Structure 1
Amino acid sequence: MSHIVSIQTEVRDPTAIRSACCRLRLPEPVFGKTKLFSQSATGWAVQLPNWRYPVVCDVATAKIAFDNFEGRWGDQRYLDRFLQGYAVEKAKLEAVKKGHSVIEQTLDDGSVKLTVNVRGTV
């Protein structure tokens, strides 16, 4: 039996943040206080390609702080890819934690299809 699920991503898991960074070949995320252009944010700092300032993920609130100056200091597509990578990695971590297997497939449009095989079902 097949089910389609839509996920609204809340960035709350440091392990999934690290896995998303690894997946996208980004530098290891760093926890701490990070300076953005006119303010600071505390959380897991993720440096996206060609972004002047990192994206900071506060896992306690699921809020993401960043300043890309409306795209002049960082292409939104890189943030979108990170969030997609985070969602995929988090879903895989949760499925495996429950003893399920996961098959991942990247589709032509760039979206990702995850098939979770639940134990005890055919």
Structure 2
Amino acid sequence: MSHIVTIETQVRDPGAIRAACSRLQLASPTFGEAKLFSESKTGWIVHLPKWRYPVVADVNTGTLAYDNYEGRWGDPARLGQFLQAYAIERATLEARRNGNSVSEQQLTDGSVKLTIDVGGAA
């Protein structure tokens, strides 16, 4: 039986952050303090292409801090790509951790279909 799932992403897993950066061929994330335009934030620092300031993930709250000045300092689509990659990697890691296999299919609209075979070998 098939089930449709909608995922609201909270960024809480450093391993999935690293995997998402690798998937998107970004620099490896680092943990520390990053300067945004008017303040500093501490967490996992992700540098998105052509963004003036990094994205900082607080894995304790699941939130992201960033300043892209309403798209003037960074294309919001890049953040969307990171969040999609994070969600894929997080779901895949969790499924495999539970002994399930995962297959992935890129759809023409840019979304990704994950199929999790419960009980299947990873």
Report if TM-score (shorter chain) is over 0.5: yes
Work out whether 1:99 is the aligned partner of 2:96.
no
Displacement of 1:34 in angstroms is: 0.5
Aligned residue in 1 for 2:45: 45
Aligned-partner Cα distance in 2 for 1:30–1:118: 33
Q: Per-residue CA shift, 1:86-115, capped at 9, x if unaligned?
A: 000000000000000000000000000000
Work out whether 1:79 is the aligned partner of 2:44.
no
Q: Per-residue CA shift, 1:36-70, capped at 9, x if unaligned?
A: 01000000000000000000000001110000011
Aligned-partner Cα distance in 1 for 2:37–2:6: 34
Aligned residue in 2 for 1:116: 116
The ranges of structure 1 where at least 4 consecutive aligned residues each deviate by more than 4 angstroms after the TM superposition are: none
Aligned-partner Cα distance in 2 for 1:112–1:41: 31
Query: What is the aligned-residue RMSD (CA, Å)?
Result: 0.8
Under a length normalisation based on structure 1, what TM-score does the superposition of the two structures give? 0.97
Aligned-partner Cα distance in 1 for 2:11–2:52: 21
Aligned residue in 1 for 2:57: 57
Work out whether 1:32 is the aligned partner of 2:32.
yes
Aligned residue in 2 for 1:89: 89
- Is the partner of 1:67 in helix, strand or coil? coil
Contiguous gaps of at least 5 residues in structure 1: none
Q: Quick one: which amino acid aligns to residue 74 of structure 2?
A: G
Aligned residue in 1 for 2:14: 14
Aligned residue in 1 for 2:4: 4
Contiguous gaps of at least 5 residues in structure 2: none
Under a length normalisation based on structure 2, what TM-score does the superposition of the two structures give? 0.97
Q: Indicate the percent of aligned positions where both proteins have the same amino acid.
A: 64
- Is the partner of 2:6 in helix, strand or coil? coil
